[in-house]
Structure 1
């Protein structure tokens, strides 16, 4: 463009404005361009014009909602890691309270003792704001994990999913869905059963049929720790 100082950037200032909008300039080139941009009104107009032009190129493309996991990764790259949900922040305190009885249970289950002597494990799972009252129960003699809903309505067109969190560094592992009616009974493989003593159990609200990502996506309604009853 006439009347402007020369620049070492290929194509001059106008071309540099397009590359700047597209994020194609190197760090040093972008710094030099921004220094010029702060004092050149015409250059700012060039940038605005290129921004409007490039924005029109996406008009024919229909909007598609990204999968939740892709959106989370993109947001993390652009804006940094978001703060952990409240239930994640509570895990260190919850899991730090492993009782001696739970440790004894783990020893017995390792094969040193007959598993029939191992105590049953329980966790209270309540959501006062929704009136939900549930009880998680693991029976080692039958290898069955159970959830009993004692109060509260099951959400319409949604599912309640059960998650096992072995420790604060472990990702939640889905055990299955809470049944809409009656007692939920889930056979648990031995490898998973070894992780149950002292582990946290969470109930999340998910789309009907369960989480589409393999991790909790909806609100976590309740969180408790599996331990023997005194």
Structure 2
């Protein structure tokens, strides 16, 4: 290797070669070293020797894959991360709201969701043997099914369950329980709301909390078809 006696760099050319390989030379010394390196074969050999030496030090080190977010963190630290403006942050929400409004407008004016011309539906459900009188009412505009107990006592320790039987099919679908006091109000999902026209409503007496199987277990007390009422 080259000796330190033929240079004014601190530590000599050999030490400078080691610092060069490690990337530790200051800028002014780096320029002087590279100018000498291009012409000095011994210095080139020093650089090659140090490169091999330092590379051998890493051989026992097991390779570890860096976490995927490391590159992003490095880029953020080197180049800075520009914080999005307020408009950039809320723009996706605005676009979503506009799209939803456009769909609702198109559906309303195309008639898909136009409940204004659909009449309310009603059904009288009576059980004379118990003096039980129930009034079922479906309001298309709000997609709400309602039931009012106008007469008769609510069975003690039991539940009255409401079933809808669509016109296209004979499998009853549970809508919920009749409230023991006051008006029963049940929001209807779109699929059931579309099937309400022409459907029948039945009331069954069940164990507390309603049928656990999704099928009526107790006696059917009354059944009637939903239909518009004459004004």
Distance 2:112 2:188 in 1: 20
Distance in 1 (alpha carbons) for counterparts of 2:159 and 2:144: 21
SS in 2 for 1:134: strand
Partner of residue 150, structure 1: 150
State the aligned residue count: 122
- Secondary structure at the aligned position of 2:216 is classed as coil
Matches within 5 A, 1:30-179: 111=111, 114-167=114-167, 169-179=169-179
Mapped partners of 1:133, 1:141: distance in 2: 26
CA distance in 1, matches of 2:212, 2:225: 25
Q: Which is higher, the Rg of structure 1 or of structure 2?
A: 2
1:170 Cα deviation from its structure 2 partner: 2.8
Question: Aligned-pair RMSD on alpha carbons?
Answer: 1.8
Q: Which residue of 2 aligns with 1:182?
A: 182
Q: Distance in 1 between matches of 2:163 and 2:177?
A: 9
TM-superposed deviation, 1:118: 1.1
Q: Deviations over 1:166-192 (max 9, x none)?
A: 037331000000000000000001110
Partner in structure 2 of residue 191 of structure 1: 191
Deviation sequence 1:100-154 (CA, Å, 0-9, x none): xxxxxxxx9x935721221100011000000000010000111100000000000
Query: 1-side partners of 2:123 and 2:140: how far apart?
Result: 15
- Any idea what SS the aligned residue of 2:176 has? strand
Equivalent position of 1:60 in the other structure = none
Unaligned runs of 5+ in 2: 1-107
- The alpha-carbon distance between structure 1 residues 168 and 223, as it changes in their structure 2 partners (threshold 3 A), is farther
Which residue number corresponds to residue 68 of structure 1?
A: none
- What is residue 85 of structure 2 aligned with on the other side? none
- Which of the pair has the greater relative contact order for Cα pairs under 8 Å at 6+ separation? 1
Alpha-carbon distance between aligned partners in 2 of 1:184 and 1:166, rounded to the nearest angstrom? 20
> 1: CA distance between counterparts of 2:169 and 2:114?
30
Question: Which runs of 5 or more structure 1 residues have no equivalent in the other structure?
Answer: 1-107
Q: Does 1:223 pair with 2:231?
A: no
The change in CA–CA distance for 1:217 and 1:142 in structure 2 (over 3 A counts) is same
Q: TM-score, normalised by structure 1?
A: 0.51
Secondary structure at the aligned position of 1:213 is classed as coil
Alpha-carbon distance in structure 2 between the residues aligned to 1:207 and 1:135: 22
**Cα displacement (A) at 1:216:** 0.6
- Residues 10-59 of structure 1 show CA distances to partners (whole Å, capped at 9, x for unaligned) of xxxxxxxxxxxxxxxxxxxxxxxxxxxxxxxxxxxxxxxxxxxxxxxxxx
